[in-house]
Chain A
Amino acid sequence: MTEVAIEVKDLSKKYGEGVQALDGISFEVETGTVFGLLGPNGAGKSTTVKILTTLSHPTSGTASIMGYDVLEHAAEVRRTIGVVAQSSTADREATARENLRLQGQLYRMKGRELEKRIDSLLDSFKLSGDGDRIVRGFSGGMERRLTVAMALVHNPRVLFLDEPTTGLDPEVRSEMWEEISALAADEGTTILLTTHYLEEADMLARNLAIVDQGRIVAEGTPDGLKKELKGDAIQVGLGETREQTEIETALREVNGVSEVILNERTLHARAEDGARSVPSILAALDSAGITADTVTVARPSLDDVYLKYAGRTMEQAEKKQTEEVAA
């Protein structure tokens, strides 16, 4: 039997003015694995992390870390976890070493043991030459590595990574991915990471949950979720805006095509053999008087999984979120 490191049951969170950030989320994370919470900004990932890290209280539901309830045993939870926030939380007026030292002191570490730990962290995060430099002069990647090192100073058994690679350039991002994988593999650290990068969840997480509007809409392994989508993803860019019903009518007679969804001017469909279906799809559209500008055929990705369960692409969900915030 595998041990459960993080257990979340029916978690809901309502903020003051009636904003339902979480609407009954449940999941479990096995010890020593990487679990991904995938979803657009504003889906409820950060709220989940805030509750699990004792920062915020749920409106209802329960959550526990290594058996400690986040409300009743907050002190034990805090000793058990490490947290890497979305942006750097290092003190920019202090040196890397001073940042690590304060962090260690807050976790009741001291003396030689702490200094040795600091040296080894600086070393493994490629900062040994920069330990005594003020963080203000660090590059984005260096500051990010320091932030992760700070979260690890007390050897937490459970690590939370909130959007660990947002805003990093691709090279630094893949370095970060290697470090995260190594942590889980070598140290047996349980990792919960939130991300809106599909490839990140795909690459790192053993299990993942797709979150949309405060609910989990799908859960499983990245491969399992992709396998649920039978066949290839076909996208047709239309020449003009059309109604969903028009498209459905047009494609009703085409064999082997399913899950037809119209998203603005892009038609998404699924076909067992994508390449073979394209000519008949185009012909059917043409005879219905619908112009097609572009066609792509792709193996299923997590983006398609999201589209299937949330009924829109991640990009659109984020755009909508931004518009709501602006309004």
Chain B
Amino acid sequence: MNLFADTWHMAQRHIRALIRQPWWIAVTLVQPIIWLVLFGGLFTSMEDTPGWPAGVTFHEFIIPGVIVMTAFFSAGWGGMGMIEDINRGIIDRFLVSPAIRSSIITGALLANFLTIAIQSLIVLGLGAIMGASYPGGPLGMLILIVISGIVGFGFGAFSYGLALIIRKEESLIAMMQFLLLPLTFLAAAFIPLTLAPDWIANVAKFNPVNWAIEAGRSALIDSSPDWNLILTRTGLLLVFGALMAAFATRAFRSYQRTV
């Protein structure tokens, strides 16, 4: 019970800090618009390419990609806040209190998940305004949001783990820059993998971002979703999330040893 209470109290702190930043809100709202309008405008002719999934507009196709991308990008930068909290002694303040230690991470992950859910709803709404239709209905949307949440959990935990180990903002920025965009392009975020070179399609099989995009897309825009795909990918994502959580926990212990 204490874990839930502490997680919620820690999450409140992060959410409060975010919603008090007008610039953060502005960019968060504008970013998906830019993705949709920019990529939508640039690549609409893709719809005419042979091999493009029948009856799917380019917008409909990239919406799950944009949602998953937004989720794992924002989660991937989570470690920056952790480094600031370490440097300011805030983490140590929590560690000398009776608070459940894992709530420092679970609280941040919960705040992350809530942000991701809201951002996803914004993209979905925006897509609908731009004419996209979602045959998967509310259930499909819910599945997509949950899947984005799991991806966010995994990358968030990874980012916190890295932050606890390297503890330098510059290094963390470099590492995340190195990872985030390639992971997006080694996935079916903007075009179906059937249109991508074989090697990319092969690498994508091992990319958690791609698992999330393919499963979320099937749930959202397929009139008869591929449940086999959705369940196996969700399972894989849960394994990925658990591994990253284990990594973050170990990183946390190694941090405590150096205090």
A residues touching B (Cβ–Cβ < 8 Å)?
15-16, 50, 53-57, 75, 78-79, 81, 83, 85-89, 91, 93-94, 98, 102-103, 105-108, 134, 150
Contact = CB atoms under 8 A, between A and B. Distances in A.
Interface in B91-119: 92-99
Contact of B16 (A54, A98, A103): A98
A54 B96 CA distance: 6
B94 A106 contact: yes
| Interface core residue of B92, B98, B259 (most chain A CB under 10 Å) | B98
B89 interface: yes
Contacts of A89: 88-90, 92-93
A16 B257 CA distance: 9
Contacts of A79: 98
Contacts of B90: 89, 91
B97 A107 contact: yes
B254 to A, nearest CB: 11
B250 interface: no
A106 to B, nearest CB: 4
A134 B97 contact: no
Contact of B98 (A16, A75, A85): A75
Interface stretch (B5-13, B50-58, B60-68): B5-13
Nearest to A136: B20
Across the A-B interface, the 4 shortest Cβ-Cβ residue pairs: A93-B17, A106-B99, A89-B89, A89-B93
Nearest to B5: A105
Contacts of B99: 106
Interface of B: 2, 5-6, 9, 12-13, 16-17, 20, 88-90, 92-99, 256-259
A87 B257 CA distance: 21
Nearest to A55: B259
A85 B16 contact: no
8 contacts: A50-B259, A54-B95, A79-B98, A83-B96, A87-B89, A93-B17, A94-B13, A107-B98
B6 A106 contact: yes
B20 A93 contact: yes
A57 B257 CA distance: 8
A322 B12 CA distance: 40
Contacts of A75: 98
Nearest to A78: B98
B17 A94 contact: yes
A85 B92 contact: yes
A105 to B, nearest CB: 5
A55 B86 CA distance: 13
A53 B12 CA distance: 26
Nearest to A79: B98
A13 to B, nearest CB: 11
Contact of B9 (A55, A106, A134): A106
| Interface core residue of B88, B93, B259 (most chain A CB under 10 Å) | B93
B103 to A, nearest CB: 9
A83 B95 CA distance: 11
Given A78-B96, A134-B20, 14 more contacts: A54-B95, A55-B259, A75-B98, A79-B98, A81-B96, A85-B93, A89-B88, A89-B90, A89-B92, A89-B93, A103-B97, A105-B9, A106-B98, A107-B98
Contacts of A87: 88-89
Contacts of A50: 259
Nearest to A83: B96
A86 B89 CA distance: 9
B93 to A, nearest CB: 4
Nearest to A150: B93
Nearest to A76: B98
B28 to A, nearest CB: 16
Nearest to B9: A105
Contacts of B96: 53-55, 78, 81, 83
Contact of B93 (A54, A83, A134): A83
A53 B97 CA distance: 9
B194 to A, nearest CB: 46
Contact of A102 (B13, B95, B256, B259): B13
B16 A94 contact: yes
Contacts of A103: 97
A15 B5 CA distance: 35
B25 to A, nearest CB: 14
Contacts of B88: 87-89
A107 B99 CA distance: 7
Nearest to B12: A102
